[in-house]
A and B are shown apart, each in its own frame.
Chain A
Amino acid sequence: MAIIEMKNLWKEYGDQVVLERLNARVEEGEFVTVVGASGCGKTTFLKLLLGTEQPSRGEMLLDGAPLPAEPDESRGIVFQRYSVLSHLTALQNVMLGGELQNSRWLGHCVGKTRKALQKEARAMLDSVGLGQAMDKYPHELSGGMQQRLALAQALIKKPRILLLDEPFGALDPGIRADMHQLVLSLWKSQKLTVFMITHDINEGFYLGTRLWVFDKPRLDPQAPGAYGARITYDLPVGNCEKNTLTRINRSVGNTSRAINDTL
């Protein structure tokens, strides 16, 4: 059974259609990268997966059942910013998931449980290269380190689905390459299903197993809100024609010009 299935999914805000007629199945373990013009609805799609927004028409299924209408442990997320809790140190951030699970009332653990959680969190932080920064607060970390911390914090919960919204958009190219390696190795070792939004189409091609392009096949330049974005390309990454990239780039460019001109 598909882990995620969309059936004729629409999302509208008032009379603005953001997403229309999305139909897709995603199997467990796939790594889906999502590209598209900015403002075309990629984050909205992620919010539907997260459960903070509900579809206006159609269905979003998780394991064949309607997706829970609020965020929970089954889906982890890393935002572009503000993903980690600013009042906790790196170690406390990574321990948090376990503490919440083990202490339903206080959310604080003591004694043996605490020791065990600490040990696990240290190992996780080591594996994302933050072994030296355990006791630092997020504001003392660089952008790349904060994103690694956010990954560690989300992955230690072992979510079934990991959602990433332009997680590396704000990072330098060199650091981004490091982060790609990290995400790929974590994805392989934890058998995650990943949805990752990126505005860098090369990143979309390089990472993962499947590339989705969100684009507006029908585009009214006077009213870009009249029609929604659809999945215009669904490519198994690795075997696509040479000029596909050029074609996608041209189409996404047109959409983004139209969206930006009217905003």
Chain B
Amino acid sequence: MKKLINRQPGRVGQWALGLLPFVLLIIAYLIASDARLAANANDKLLPALNSFADAIQRMAFEPSKRSGDYLLWVDTLASLQRLAMGVGISALMALAVGIANGTIPYIRATLSPLVTGLSLVPPMAMLPVLFIIFGLGELAKVMLIIIGITPFLIRDLQQRALEIPREQIIKMQTLGANSWQIITRLVWPQLMPRLIGAVRLSLGPAWLFLIAAEAIAATEGLGYRIFLVRRYLAMDVILPYVVWITLLAFAIDFMLSRYSRWRYPWFHQQGH
């Protein structure tokens, strides 16, 4: 018999083992929910499956009685727009500043301490400041995402730019490249897959800042809805929303990963 560390599950085994914790969690939930509902039919803490189905039906496929909107979709669209704006603007700024910092010593000497300092400011502590400056509109929420993730993205890209092998930078010069061409033909293309990787890592914090901002001041959005229905202990709405947010996050991450593999094969096949 082989040692435990050398025994590998087969293909089917891998899937089965991976699914097992999910199945066990669902079963545990169903048992607990049944038990509570048996004791009190009006219990709101652990709703039964059909309550979820009702709630999803109500939120996603029936117009709201008050506004006539299909709330789940209105919320999703609002949240995704804010997320895309925030992350997109952050990525563009990080690309520009990260490349400049990582490539040009004079710019690095000027900006690098500032970026390090800014990255240590707790973004949530800045939220009131943002609301005061930008009001309660869209801009404040997008700004929270931006100040929350941009410093991390810049520092990551700066580091990656500095890690580009010295040999390749010398090579570019012996081929006659000027500083700008070294950026456009070497640093920028080599950092693009790194940027996607860093954006994937920053999506978790980005969602966090988005939901926090929506919870405090918004009129629609996934985070807004969750915190709104919390007042009525509406677990039947909250839990599907949480699952939906998780699915969205997973889908975005998956698409970015696939795009990167398709667009930058040289990067991923080197063992990154």
| A262 to B178 alpha-carbon distance, docked (Å) | 42
Given that A82-B168, A107-B181, A139-B270 are contacting pairs, would A87 and B174 also be in contact in the complex, using a CB cutoff of 8 Å? no
List the B side residues contacting A106 at CB < 8 Å: 184
Determine if A83 is an interface residue (Cβ-Cβ < 8 Å): yes
List the B side residues contacting A159 at CB < 8 Å: 174
Among A52, A77, A86, A101, point to the contact of B266 (Cβ < 8 A).
A86
| A79 to B170 alpha-carbon distance, docked (Å) | 10
List the B side residues contacting A34 at CB < 8 Å: none
| A105 to B177 alpha-carbon distance, docked (Å) | 10
Determine if A75 is an interface residue (Cβ-Cβ < 8 Å): yes
Given that A50-B170, A82-B165, A107-B181 are contacting pairs, would A87 and B267 also be in contact in the complex, using a CB cutoff of 8 Å? yes
Cross-chain contact B190 with A97 (CB below 8 angstroms): no
Among B177, B178, B190, point to the contact of A87 (Cβ < 8 A).
B190
| B-contacting 9-mer, from A20-28, A66-74, A213-221 | A66-74
List the B side residues contacting A164 at CB < 8 Å: none
Interface size on B, as a range, is 20 to 34
Determine if A104 is an interface residue (Cβ-Cβ < 8 Å): yes
Determine if B73 is an interface residue (Cβ-Cβ < 8 Å): no
Determine if B180 is an interface residue (Cβ-Cβ < 8 Å): yes
Cross-chain contact A73 with B176 (CB below 8 angstroms): yes
Q: Per-position contact with A for B170-196: 1 when CB-CB < 8 Å, else 0? A: 111111111011001110011000000
List the A side residues contacting B165 at CB < 8 Å: 82
Determine if A54 is an interface residue (Cβ-Cβ < 8 Å): no
| A100 to B185 alpha-carbon distance, docked (Å) | 9
| A104 to B176 alpha-carbon distance, docked (Å) | 10
Interface residues of B in 144-187 (CB under 8 A from A): 165, 167-168, 170-178, 180-181, 184-186
Determine if B244 is an interface residue (Cβ-Cβ < 8 Å): no
- Chain A's closest residue to B177 (CB) is A100
Interface size on A, as a range, is 35 or more
Given that A52-B170, A79-B167, A82-B168 are contacting pairs, would A101 and B184 also be in contact in the complex, using a CB cutoff of 8 Å? no
Cross-chain contact A96 with B173 (CB below 8 angstroms): no
Cross-chain contact A137 with B178 (CB below 8 angstroms): no
List the A side residues contacting B186 at CB < 8 Å: 85
| A138 to B170 alpha-carbon distance, docked (Å) | 18
The CB with the most chain A CB atoms within 10 A, among B168, B174, B186, B189, is that of: B174
Among B175, B189, B265, B269, point to the contact of A153 (Cβ < 8 A).
B175
List the A side residues contacting B176 at CB < 8 Å: 72-73, 97, 100-101, 157
CB distance from B19 to the nearest CB of A (A): 35
30 contacts between A and B (CB under 8 A): A52-B170, A70-B173, A71-B174, A72-B176, A73-B176, A75-B174, A76-B174, A81-B167, A82-B165, A82-B168, A83-B168, A85-B171, A85-B186, A86-B266, A87-B190, A87-B264, A99-B185, A104-B178, A104-B181, A105-B180, A107-B177, A137-B265, A137-B266, A138-B266, A139-B266, A140-B269, A153-B171, A153-B175, A154-B174, A157-B175
Chain B positions within 8 Å of A, measured between CB atoms, are 165, 167-168, 170-178, 180-181, 184-186, 189-190, 264-267, 269-270
* Additional 8 contacts, C-beta under 8 A, given A79-B167, A157-B175: A70-B173, A82-B168, A84-B171, A85-B172, A100-B176, A100-B177, A104-B178, A159-B174
| A-B pairs, 10 with minimum CB distance | A71-B173, A82-B167, A97-B175, A107-B185, A73-B176, A107-B181, A137-B266, A82-B165, A79-B167, A100-B177
